[in-house]
Amino acid sequence: MLGLAKMESLPSGFEYPKDYIVFLERDFKDILPWFVLQEDEIGRLRDGLSNRYPYRNLVPFARRRDREDVACFDIEKGNGIVIIHDYAGAGWEFVCEYSGIWNWFGQVAEDIIDYENN
């Protein structure tokens, strides 16, 4: 399913936040330059992030087309959202964080404007 991974591939005890489910129900799947990950992409990307940054416990849900940025739920931060610059050196991957999906989506709106103007 778009935006949701199989529960068996997720960390024990993790549940998607209710606001995220509402976000998915609104059909925000292709919000250029971002896109919501497909079920199989979530598992593969989660495995890759775990290998590159083993000290982080992340569940990715969106990726930016024009960069290696990935939006993830950060289990260690109470399911807050972090942006990870994938493939950056360990310790250099963190870009920023948001307290929830709607705070992140506010930034996405600005990203859409910037992307369309370039």
Domain limits for position 66:
1-6+15-94
39-93 per-position pLDDT tens digit: 889 999 999 999 999 999 999 999 999 999 999 999 988 879 999 999 999 999 9
In a domain, 107, yes or no: no
pTM of the entire structure?
0.92
Q: Cβ distance 85 to 68 under 8 Å?
A: yes
In a domain, 81, yes or no: yes
In a domain, 114, yes or no: no
In a domain, 117, yes or no: no
Q: Over 80: is that where the pLDDT of 2 sits?
A: no
In a domain, 73, yes or no: yes
Instruction: Give the count of domains, the chain.
Output: 1
In a domain, 115, yes or no: no
